[in-house]
Amino acid sequence: MRIRQVKEVEIEGLGERIKQARLNSTKSLEQICEEVEVSRTYWYDIEKETLKGALSVENLRKIEEVLGVDFGVSLKGDSND
């Protein structure tokens, strides 16, 4: 039997931190989006913090991996804890 737990947390300024990490990266926006598997529009919504829903922890971890950074976001039960 599977049980699903959904938890959302607000991380102030995360979009700007992601943007700065992108700007400091040697990768192009197109390359980053391809590796993270998101569209440019979705990426800009992440940076501007205007997503209609929440950023999934899976996408956050992909972003961290592709950009080579750790944003220090820890959620109980996350595989990075």
Q: What is the pLDDT of residues 17-27, one digit of tens each?
A: 999 999 999 99
Ranges of each domain in the chain: 18-67
Coil, helix or strand for 6?
coil
Residue 81 reports pLDDT greater than 80 = no
Helix 40-48 crosses helix 29-36 at what angle (to 10 degrees)?
Answer: 100
Q: Which residues touch 20 (CB under 8 Å, ≥6 apart)?
A: none
CA atoms in the 13 A half-sphere facing the CB of 65: 12
The pLDDT of 35-63, averaged and rounded, is 95
Helix 14-24 crosses helix 40-48 at what angle (to 10 degrees)?
Answer: 120
From 3.40.47.10, 3.40.50.1360, 1.10.260.40, 2.60.40.10, which CATH number describes the 18-67 domain? 1.10.260.40
